[in-house]
Structure 1
Amino acid sequence: MAWSTRQLAELAGTTVKAVRYYHGVGLLEMPERGANGYKHYEVAHLIRLLQIRRLSDLGVPLSDVAAMGHAQEEPEEAIRVLDAELGATIERLRRVRAELALILRHRAPAYVPSAYAPVSRDLSERQRSLLMVYSNVLGETSGEGLHELLGSAGDTGAEFEALPADADDAEVERMALRLLPVMREVRETRAWATGSGRGARRAEQAMGEVVEQLHNPAQLRVLERAVELVTAEGGEAPRGGRGRRGG
């Protein structure tokens, strides 16, 4: 007995489109055609189609099915590789689910690193953005350092966030002095140390651009002045922040 394409697909629990696709990529041999021009599929085609479906259901890429789809072969190494890949995928999905649980529990923005989900709602949008970029560009440790400093800044941090763009020189000076203890802590803990080399310098330059674009002119003047003050005390200027620039 011979089957049509549709009958074969129904027997194998797949679609005509899938059967045609398997023909196109060379996984399923083309059957002979009858006098009427229709394809006539045999038992061998059904078995091969079931093999393809089974391997596909196991997660085997179609590009690998050709090498491991015959019953007489024992592709143990390919199966071990697939098992390792699936194990890594499962671990990643478990980690993602744990992160999603934190986000949902604290109703935090999904883009904020999950470790900071418990406090993210107390931060401004700018602080969240800084935390996200620092954690990814400079590493998780740097993000933790920034998070601690944002928390220790308290009312000073909130006041800095609210500083208007047209604040006068006296207000900028007062705010810089308020931020000076935070800058000292940056200096002492080296919270944003990034190592050395071209990659570290590029990261620091990138963070300088982030700081510049996320703050208004008055806030940038405050940061510049605070860096000047902490440097005048004999300390190294905080890295990844904004130093004195011309213009």
Structure 2
Amino acid sequence: MAWSTRELADLAGTTVNAVRHYHQRGLLDQPDRRSNGYKQYGVPHLVRLLQIRRLRDIGVPIAEIVRLDSGVGTSPEVLSAIDADLAETIERSERARAEIADMMEHGSVTDVATGFAGVAPRLSASERSLTLIYAQLYEPGVMDDVRQMLDTDPDPATAKFESLPADADEPARERLAEEFSGTIAKALRSYPWIDAPETHLRQSVRSTAVAMAETMRAIYNPAQLDVLERATRLARARMGESAGDEGTEDRPGDA
């Protein structure tokens, strides 16, 4: 029995172009030809083509098959690398399926980070944007904390901050900074990584700092940025005073 190129390709579940490519790379021997010039492939060609197909189907590169010449296997190192790639692909697929399930449950919400679809309805536009950027800059553990922070009804200070107009006067800014400092202090105590994020970054410290600075300027108006800076400074100062008072109380010999 002899097969034409088309028949061989169909039988092996591949294409004529693939067969020609394997000939060009020296992976498949050229067949004999009939008197009319047509190629006639035999069982050895089919077996070799199926061997190549098997290796290609599991991801073995053409260059590796060429390196093996007439061999039909591959090295443990190549197989380990392919296996690692497949494991990563499976992990990505599982994450994608989990995200799809979350979106199907809570609606096709695409303007928040993965895992935030459930809390999206209560988030402001700026908070939604922040979840996306945070997810790109910080490790998953940090995002769990961010989701926990957002998965509560906003306190009055946060609501006032989100709605603060750009032309808010000085007294209004000062009052809100005083009030908002309590919210920030609570977050700093509950999530220490906020003050030391370096060990939780997915990007470099510099690129993270630049991205966050640009993001804050883009989503908050000047009055909000001013209040945020003041409130953060007040929160840290008061936390420092509180820690100092505790140290004084515990100091030996002061009784």
Bucket of the pairwise TM-score, normalised by the shorter protein: 0.7 to 0.9
1:48 equivalent in structure 2: 48
1:210 aligns with one of 204, 208, 215: 215
User: How far apart, in 2, do the equivalents of 1:209 and 1:93 lie?
Assistant: 32
Q: Which residue number corresponds to residue 234 of structure 2? A: 229
Aligned residues: 235
**TM-score, length-normalised on structure 1?**
0.75
Partner Cα distance (2:176, 2:186) in 1 = 16
Task: Report the counterpart of residue 30 of structure 2 in structure 1.
Answer: 30
Counterpart Cα distance in 2 of 1:228 and 1:75 = 61
Structure 2-normalised TM-score?
0.73
Find the counterpart in structure 1 of residue 132 from structure 2. 132
Worse-superposed segment, 163-172 or 218-227 = 163-172
Change (3 A) 1:201 1:97: same
What is the Cα deviation at residue 123 of structure 1? 1.0
Bigger Cα displacement from structure 2, 142-151 vs 159-168:
142-151
Residues 117 and 6 (structure 1 numbering): CA distance in 2 closer, same or farther, change over 3 Å? same
Q: 1:114 to 1:148 in 2, by over 3 A?
A: same
- The CA deviation at 1:33 is 4.5
Distance 1:226 1:52, change over 3 A: same
* 1:127 Cα deviation after fit: 0.6
CA distance in structure 1 between the aligned counterparts of 2:182 and 2:189, rounded to whole angstroms:
10
Query: Equivalent residues in 2 for 1:178-217 (5 A)?
Result: 178-189=179-190, 190-192=192-194, 193-195=196-198, 199-200=204-205, 202-217=207-222
Q: CA RMSD in A?
A: 3.4
Q: Which residue of 2 aligns with 1:77?
A: 76
Runs of 4+ in 1 over 6 A off after TM superposition: none
Aligned equivalents of 1:148, 1:94: Cα separation in 2: 23
1:151-195 deviations in whole A, cap 9, x for unaligned? 364343233222222333233223323311112123323241214
Q: Are 2:102 and 1:102 equivalent residues in the alignment? A: yes
CA distance in 1, matches of 2:198, 2:37: 71
Aligned position for 1:154 = 155
Contact 2:51–2:72, Cα closer than 8 Å, also in 1: no
Unmatched runs of 5 consecutive residues or more in structure 1 = 237-247
Q: Residues of 2 paired with 1:85 and 1:145: CA distance?
A: 30
Q: Once the two structures are aligned, what percentage of the paired residues are identical?
A: 42
